[in-house]
Chain A
Amino acid sequence: KAGVTQTPRYLIKTRGQQVTLSCSPISGHRSVSWYQQTPGQGLQFLFEYFSETQRNKGNFPGRFSGRQFSNSRSEMNVSTLELGDSALYLCASSIGTGVEKLFFGSGTQLSVL
């Protein structure tokens, strides 16, 4: 069974630009969560989608948004990039019901110059 796939693996953008990251969950998983990982702030929850609906949201500004498609694939978008948005963005999928384990992708490393 294929794991969680995130594309692209690396991304370099400049301040003010916008970026879209993609996540393909494990087949059959309906929940996709996004996390931001930085050396200073650690791992922080961005949002979670389940069956195309946002189910939970973290404390990030509105520049961070996401969506989920009918095939459970998810995208997250960051508009008007700031230097502080440089981070590893991790996507995780799960079946979506009960307390199951999250399966994480390898992440997208975003650098904002």
Chain B
Amino acid sequence: AQSVTQLGSHVSVSEGALVLLRCNYSSSVPPYLFWYVQYPNQGLQLLLKYTTGATLVKGINGFEAEFKKSETSFHLTKPSAHMSDAAEYFCAVSYFSGNTGKLIFGQGTTLQVKP
């Protein structure tokens, strides 16, 4: 079955430090890949997505992710964490080229940013 694994349910970094959130998917067929962020009591907001083309994808709020087919990974990074980055982050995949209504989500990673 298709699945998404996010390593680490909780990640804690200091303000200004590098953020690295890990995501691996299980499929021999490259899917479409997404990172979403969820702030408390809110819905999800798209940070970035990979469909085709350049494997390094830049998103909003200084985040970026690199698609590595050989490692079936799509890790999310940000060079310098800000207090406002504290939230829950979800990696998701879609195997449907015709629409993105159906996404398979990872279990989520809660990012804590310490002052």
Q: Which residues does A use to contact B, with CB under 8 Å?
A: 4, 31-33, 35, 42-45, 48, 50, 55-56, 58, 90, 92, 94, 96-102, 104-107
Contact = CB atoms under 8 A, between A and B. Distances in A.
B101 A99 contact: no
A107 B38 CA distance: 12
B105 A43 contact: yes
B41 A106 contact: yes
B97 A104 contact: no
Q: How large is the interface on B (under 10, 10 to 19, 20 to 34, 35 or more residues)?
A: 20 to 34
A42 B107 contact: yes
B78 interface: no
B90 A99 contact: no
B97 A102 contact: no
Contacts of A105: 43
A101 B94 CA distance: 11
Interface in B95-115: 96-108
19 contacts: A31-B99, A45-B102, A45-B104, A48-B99, A48-B101, A56-B102, A58-B102, A92-B44, A92-B101, A94-B101, A96-B99, A97-B98, A97-B99, A101-B46, A101-B49, A102-B46, A104-B36, A104-B43, A105-B43
